[in-house]
Structure 1
Amino acid sequence: MEEDQKNPILKEGFLVKRGHVVHNWKARWFVLYPDQLLYYKYDGGKRDSCQRGRIMLTGCKISCPYLEYDNRPLVFKLQTKSSAEYFLEACSREERDQWAADIGAAVEKLRPADSPTPSQSKTTGYLSLQLHSFSLNQVVDSMYDVHSGIKLTSHNEQGSSYSNCFSGSAVVDWLVFNQLALTRVEAVTLSSAVLEEGYLRPVGLRSVEAQRSHGLSEQFLDDSTALYSFSENFKKRGSVKAETSLSAMELSGKVLKRGYLLKQVRKTLPISPNYLLKQPKLSGYLHYYDPSKDDISPVGGFSLRGCLVSALDDNGVPSGVKGKVQGNLLKIITQFDTHYYIQAPSRQERMDWIEAIRGQS
């Protein structure tokens, strides 16, 4: 379906979708229209001309965040008027929330003027929640619950490794998902109160500095790089620490850019990976992830130190590229002379990636 004035494209891009029959996860290209969300297979550098599925938005309900999947904190759920459920995963919390907000806005415009607004939908603010009254002790007990509470993981920030902790955005996600807060703003206020009472403690430079220098309402950060843990008097049992085979230095640092790209190295072409560009203290790395699995353990990566990156000609298939992959391609040559051919979803994204990579090489 092509874009026209009556049915313009509102948003498009990669999301990872869970299969209906076989519950595997595959990257698909999604296109949002005012009344429907279409998705396509993206292969050989091109979107399929025939759509793989259609989600009608009239009467659709959105759950964002949706935290039922361990190791997949970036999922949101769509439930159609006919009760069909779709589970979609973005590459970042910002992307997830933006997709949910844009879809939610489209759903609201389709709602009849005299139709009541749902009061039980779990969303991030564009649909209403029924807010319940909980004491702070109840909130903390729920957060601390071994089975349904906040999951403890390991994090690497600015060259240091921290275990048995969680990010500020993970806390906010959890509070909204469990309907302990109506919006992310309310969740931050509630988290700040929990922090102020000493149930949580900041971990790492970002969260420690925020507690030291900000006012009460701004001490807790809704940020994936601001880390927290339960106070020492809490001994949460049954938690599984996140493990990785990569060094703490390699995985540490601020994430500078992330998104979906297609990678071809030498003569192999894996499925569409999720790339992360990170900046440790000494050098940069580009890590990539299998979208059919979790986004915690990368399946590969390489150092950007001393690499060369350039855009490839969009006319035809460039030399060195296998198959008919063409358009929006960039090439990275590492200091060990490994050649990576990478395809971005748009020309602008290609230039953004090239600029980010050159800044680390």
Structure 2
Amino acid sequence: MDAAQKKTIIREGFLVKRGHLVQNWKARWFVLTPDQLLYYKYDGGRRDSCQRGRIQLEDCEVTCPFLELENRPLVFKLRTKSSVEHFLDACSREKRDAWAADIAAAAEKLRAGDGGKTTHGQADPAESLGLKLVNVNLSQVVDSMYDVHSGIRFTNHVEQGKTYSNCFSGSAVVDWLVFAELALTRVEAVTLASALMEEGFVRPVGLRSVEALRTAGLTQQFVDDSTALYSFAESFKKRGSVKAETSLSAVELSGKVVRRGYLLKQGHKRKNWKVRLFVLRSEPAYLHYYDPSRDDVSPAGGFSLRGCLVSALDDNGVPSGVKGNIQGNLFKIITQADTHYFIQAPTHEEKMGWIDAIREQI
């Protein structure tokens, strides 16, 4: 984001966006400017500087609320000038209405000629490619790729003296997807391979592929080349089977909702950072968290606040127990059972707001 855009930020924060090519939901950091809605991915615990897309607001139409998606009552819809529809899920009705109102106001200013010229830069990947890989089941795709009889062939590669085992090249992936008729063209295959990588099924392992992921634009993250190396992620077979860390009862969910919002939580086993929807309840006092990428209305986990300790963590350096590349605004909750939860808020104000709200319930 350039200096001019930074000066004209109207609103920013987490929303959950439904994909175009694969209609799954992903938490993204959104930044609203007078003429565009930009969105970014959080890489671990830090916002990725690479834009994942932008939505031009010129002649954009906002529908709020949009109540046609089951289990997602907090969605609003944007329809662009080119008739592309974007579905965005907020953490609360207040946030949803505020985002929709600000976006509608920005679009109205553009229609009135007060918003300045629209900057035509990188478009949304679905808009720019015009692809129709809709409702693709990525789990089935990767299972087919992994099939011992008809799947992709594993090879060993040596790159600058280092050996990479059980991997495959980017061009081999594209060849296989086209041969298996999962994509009609190499361009579509690259897009599908990028979705597999985005979801963590496939990971870059060689210098060329890692560098491409770090520096490439929206549509060049997966490299169709024999020198770009990839492999399956070790954990891909476990995806979709996440279980709640604690058993939940109806009593836990019966309290009054005091606060809700998107925060980043560090996992207990893999120590990776994920965006979660946190909901704080009182009488009884519980803190639950949900996976916003799923339509499941059940929490992914939660715990009683009785006997808990909550404290802010210093942003100078990486505190003990915290892993990964973090943004800051950390706080820690220690439960009565001595389980440590490391949580990261997007801003200092939100961190202190959550700490104060939790302390009131302890």
Residue 314 to residue 65, structure 1, CA distance change in 2 (3 Å)? same
- The residue number in structure 1 matching 2:256 is 254
Question: Is 1:317–1:326's contact at 8 Å kept on the other side of the alignment?
Answer: no
Which amino acid is the alignment partner of residue 86 of structure 1? Answer: H
Question: Is 1:7–1:33's contact at 8 Å kept on the other side of the alignment?
Answer: no
Trace 1:40-59 onto structure 2 (pairs within 5 A).
40-59=40-59
Identity %: 72
- The residue number in structure 2 matching 1:271 is 274
In structure 2, C-alpha distance between the alignment counterparts of 1:3 and 1:17, rounded to whole Å: 26
Q: Secondary structure at the match of 1:103?
A: helix
- The residue number in structure 1 matching 2:185 is none
Moved over 6 A (4+): none
In structure 2, C-alpha distance between the alignment counterparts of 1:336 and 1:7, rounded to whole Å: 46
Which amino acid is the alignment partner of residue 257 of structure 1? Answer: R
- The residue number in structure 1 matching 2:322 is 321
In structure 2, C-alpha distance between the alignment counterparts of 1:290 and 1:26, rounded to whole Å: 10
Per-residue deviation, 1:299: 1.0
Per-residue deviation, 1:308: 0.5
Question: Is 1:7–1:34's contact at 8 Å kept on the other side of the alignment?
Answer: no
- The residue number in structure 1 matching 2:33 is 33
Per-residue deviation, 1:297: 1.3
Gapped regions of structure 2 (runs ≥ 5) = 115-246
Per-residue deviation, 1:43: 2.0
In structure 1, C-alpha distance between the alignment counterparts of 2:320 and 2:269, rounded to whole Å: 12
Per-residue deviation, 1:323: 2.0
Which amino acid is the alignment partner of residue 291 of structure 1? Answer: P
In structure 2, C-alpha distance between the alignment counterparts of 1:346 and 1:74, rounded to whole Å: 22
Residue 272 to residue 85, structure 1, CA distance change in 2 (3 Å)? same
Per-residue deviation, 1:35: 0.4
Residue 99 to residue 293, structure 1, CA distance change in 2 (3 Å)? same
- The residue number in structure 2 matching 1:355 is 356
Q: Which digits, 9 at most, give the CA deviation of each residue in 1:255-308, with x for residues without a partner?
A: 11110111114343353110000112xx31110001111362111101111000
| TM-score computed with the length of structure 2 as normaliser | 0.61
Residue 56 to residue 286, structure 1, CA distance change in 2 (3 Å)? same
2:306 counterpart of 1:309: no
Q: How many residues align?
A: 229
Gapped regions of structure 1 (runs ≥ 5) = 115-244
Which amino acid is the alignment partner of residue 309 of structure 2? Answer: L
The alignment yields a C-alpha RMSD, in angstroms, of 1.8
Per-residue deviation, 1:254: 1.3
Residue 5 to residue 81, structure 1, CA distance change in 2 (3 Å)? closer
Which amino acid is the alignment partner of residue 334 of structure 1? Answer: T
Question: Is 2:44–2:273's contact at 8 Å kept on the other side of the alignment?
Answer: no
- The residue number in structure 1 matching 2:23 is 23
Residue 326 to residue 72, structure 1, CA distance change in 2 (3 Å)? same
In structure 2, C-alpha distance between the alignment counterparts of 1:331 and 1:22, rounded to whole Å: 35
Q: Secondary structure at the match of 1:68?
A: coil
